[in-house]
Amino acid sequence: MTLRFLAPQSRAVPAAFTALLALALIFNGQALAHNVDTSDAAFLQAQSGVAFWPYFYLGAKHMVTGLDHLLFLAGVVFFLRSFRDVAVYVSLFALGHSLTLIVGVTLQTTANPYLVDAIIGLSVVYKALENLAQQHNWHFGIDTRAAVFAFGLCHGLGLATKLQQLSLPEEGLLINLLAFNLGVEFGQLLALSAIVLAVFAWQRRSTFAAQALIANWFIMVGGFMLIGIQLAAYWLD
């Protein structure tokens, strides 16, 4: 079956959605990857022993400001119609994310952070493409739940590679990682609640189908930008 992704019926994408993505892509360079900013890095390296709440806060901050996470999750929930479905898919993503974050840091799993983040950008492109295909009743033959879990593993590994570069203190490391991960999940819950409420309200509009085409093109472009930035950094490093 031919994929007809061109010539969307309407250009009236909600202004808030378009503005949010455009501003994030242009001005929020730190959100384009799992980077830990300088002040947060210095803080983490200065800690000794268990520091539950500071790690929890930084985990939540990472998720709320993580454009790659938010774009992927927006793509995941775009055509879901119930909170139960949202819970299933987000739980699979969270499970994958948590596994590679904790295991990757504790076992010092080595991986190139730029290439991992490029794969994370690919996850955004994939989900947008899957959404566009779904509107035309075409399927990739890949179980969406399995794909969400697999890309969750990639997202967690991306953060693990960044944390490994900080030489975190060994004392209390496991508890601190658990606190950080709980913060990530809390931040995800906050961000996702806003996204889901907005998408569910948007789905009730008669123009949703046409606008969804353009919105997912925006998401896909964002994913390609993430890939390009990371591959460029890989070759220049």
19 pLDDT higher than 80:
no
User: Alpha carbon 2 to chain centroid distance?
Assistant: 30
CB-hemisphere CA count at 13 Å for 14? 15
Which of 92-106, 123-137, 165-179 is predicted least confidently? 165-179
- What integer pLDDT is reported at residue 47 of this predicted model? 76
Q: Mind listing the pLDDT tens digit for each residue in 158-170?
A: 989 888 887 788 8
Q: From residue 23, how far is each of 61, 67, 185, 226 by CA, in Å?
A: 18, 11, 24, 14
Q: Mind listing the pLDDT tens digit for each residue in 50-73?
A: 889 888 998 898 888 888 889 999
Both tokens of 156, joined, read 């967690």
Write down the mean pLDDT value for the chain.
Answer: 84
Alpha-carbon distance of 4 to 213, in angstroms, equals 11
The full set of domain ranges for the chain reads: 51-236
- What integer pLDDT is reported at residue 2 of this predicted model? 42
- What integer pLDDT is reported at residue 35 of this predicted model? 62
